[in-house]
Structure 1
Amino acid sequence: MSVVGLGDRDRLLAAAIAAVEVAGQVIRPFFRSGLGAELKGDQSPVTVADRNAEQAMRTLLSQRVPEAGILGEEFGLDRPDARLRWVLDPIDGTRAFITGRPTFGILVGLLMDGVPVLGIIDQPITGERWVGVAGEPTHFAGPFGGAAGTRSCLSLNEAELSCTSPAMMDGATQPRFDALEAGVRRTSWGGDCYAYGLLALGHIDIIAERDMKIWDWAALVPVIEGAGGRVTDWNGDRLREDGDGSVLAVGDPALGDRAVEALRGRPG
């Protein structure tokens, strides 16, 4: 599915870029400032930077694209019946943010009839940005080099696996993750959305995570698919808002089926 038409595509993309830029302006002064965090009901941290950044994005997007709904992690859903829906995570990786690590990111995704058609991962401290539009190659810009494009990796035993935290797993899912981890070359921890950006640059081969909400993954899908990768749940099915919260991203689409089999306890 592509973004409506050329005129809509350009307008929507410009609005998404403006949204991450205004969020970055809000967030940067708080970075490494000793900012404290509160705990939400699910025990995840949130800061005034998260809330202020989301409010700034919501205001801008409501003005630029008034026909679209907006779903944000901090302030819920506006215009639920809209065909187009922005999905916002102002700081994906709040734990990284409050501990001074530049591995968090601003996520802006756009759904059309529930399907991700546009996504941006923006790192406002390092100046790196990944832009994905359905049906188009992913664009990456940043000061450290790199180019959008996943790498070939056909074998699990050659793959670099990444996951944000072991705490994502529970008693039912830990054995499944362990089975996948047992078959790969190496596992690295941490990264939040930044790790998905690295997968889109060809530095990571597999990311397997659980307990992911739609604002955690909506922006990632167009970025990774436009770089040549594949994003599904742990069963190999398309991600859905009402899914089980599992996310499996692979740089080489051929690796996806092998990873799914490993997660089922049947290494390929």
Structure 2
Amino acid sequence: MTQMLPLELAHKMADRARSILQPYFRTRIPIQDKADTSPVTIADRETETALREMLRMHFPSHNIIGEEHEQVQQGGDFTWVIDPIDGTKSFISGMPTFGTLISLQHADLPILGMIDIPISGERWVARRGHGTHYNDQPCHTSSVTELADAILYCTEPDPFNPAQLACFDRLARQVKLRRFGGDCYLAGLLASGHIDLLVEADLKIYDVMAMVTVIEEAGGCISDWHGQPVGGSDWDGSLVASATAQLHRQALAVLQGKPSQEPPESGI
């Protein structure tokens, strides 16, 4: 068998996920509640099983982390992180903004990320050092640097604890526009420059790793609310992503209860 490049395989995985998910969309399928009360369907599990089989076939020595099945730890430096349906609540309620997330890490560094939206046929893909592409065309975050000019999105406020909700509300009062809903689609919109800020909480590693490379390679910034990398062992599940470094610093300051103004430039 000819060795397939990771990017080529990621595209084939996303194509396979589309072929499974599209026939299930807006059909009556059983819904189960997992231990954390989040919903899951046969579509989630069937898709992840298919993606894992492709990974085992082409990269049997790589580790695998997914939402619906147990981790596969082979002991190497390469780890695939996959989420067959990011936005299962949207999927089961007929909203087309759910997506499939595929990412590859080397050690702790995300080096490949893909966000695929099966129903609309949109795909964002990024490799470390090669930029982000939307349906094969280069894309970039917006140039917004001030909160007053920013469009802020959040999937839903329910995961915020009371302290986080207060911080989010404080940030939302300072931006140009606040909207809700979108799941991983929001990360793609940020990478393409349509929105400027994304704030979430109570996420898991499979929710975010694809977003990291897609957003950073498009020119944006992504971290937890403390300014630290997402997905690590000390990560609290929070996320803030911004179109520019200046906007990111301001958003973090507000979320941390600090003054949001950029420091004046030195005249020296």
Do these two structures clear the TM 0.5 threshold for a shared fold by scoring above it? yes
The size of the alignment, in residue pairs, is: 258
SS in 2 for 1:172: helix
Match among 20, 26, 30 for residue 26 of structure 1: 20
Quote how far apart the aligned CAs of 1:172 are. 2.4
**1:244 equivalent in alignment to 2:253:** no
Q: Which amino acid in structure 1 is aligned with residue 51 of structure 2? A: M
**1:155 equivalent in alignment to 2:149:** no
Match among 146, 168, 172 for residue 163 of structure 2: 172
Aligned to 1:92: 86
Q: Is the 8 A contact 1:109 1:219 kept in 2?
A: yes
Aligned to 2:208: 217
SS in 2 for 1:258: helix
CA deviation profile, 1:90-113 (whole Å, cap 9, x unmatched) = 000001111111100000011110
Deviates more, 1:233-242 or 1:213-222: 233-242
SS in 1 for 2:84: strand
Structure-1 separation of matches of 2:9 and 2:60: 11
Structure-2 separation of matches of 1:81 and 1:176: 40
The equivalences for 1:222-233 within 5 A come to: 222-233=213-224
Structure 2: 5+ residue stretches without partners:
262-268
The equivalences for 1:27-106 within 5 A come to: 27-79=21-73, 81-106=75-100
Structure-1 separation of matches of 2:116 and 2:9: 14
CA deviation profile, 1:3-50 (whole Å, cap 9, x unmatched) = xxxxx9x71111111111111111111001122311111111110000
Q: Is the 8 A contact 1:213 1:241 kept in 2?
A: no
Q: Is the 8 A contact 2:208 2:231 kept in 1?
A: no
Quote how far apart the aligned CAs of 1:76 are. 2.2
Structure-2 separation of matches of 1:203 and 1:76: 36
Aligned to 1:260: 252
Structure-2 separation of matches of 1:260 and 1:79: 34
The TM-score, its normalising length taken from structure 1, stands at 0.92
Quote how far apart the aligned CAs of 1:82 are. 2.2
Aligned CA RMSD, in angstroms, stands at 1.6
Q: Which amino acid in structure 1 is aligned with residue 29 of structure 2? A: L
Structure-1 separation of matches of 2:30 and 2:183: 20
Quote how far apart the aligned CAs of 1:194 are. 0.2
Aligned to 1:201: 192
Structure-1 separation of matches of 2:236 and 2:220: 21
Structure-2 separation of matches of 1:115 and 1:208: 22
Structure-2 separation of matches of 1:80 and 1:247: 29
Structure 1: 5+ residue stretches without partners:
1-7
**1:139 equivalent in alignment to 2:133:** yes
Give the structure with higher Rg (CA).
Answer: 2
Q: Which amino acid in structure 1 is aligned with residue 129 of structure 2? A: G
Structure-2 separation of matches of 1:194 and 1:39: 23
Q: Which amino acid in structure 2 is aligned with residue 185 of structure 1? A: K
Once the two structures are aligned, what percentage of the paired residues are identical? 41
Q: Is the 8 A contact 1:36 1:98 kept in 2?
A: no
Match among 168, 182, 188 for residue 179 of structure 2: 188
Structure-2 separation of matches of 1:222 and 1:83: 17
Deviates more, 1:15-24 or 1:254-263: 15-24
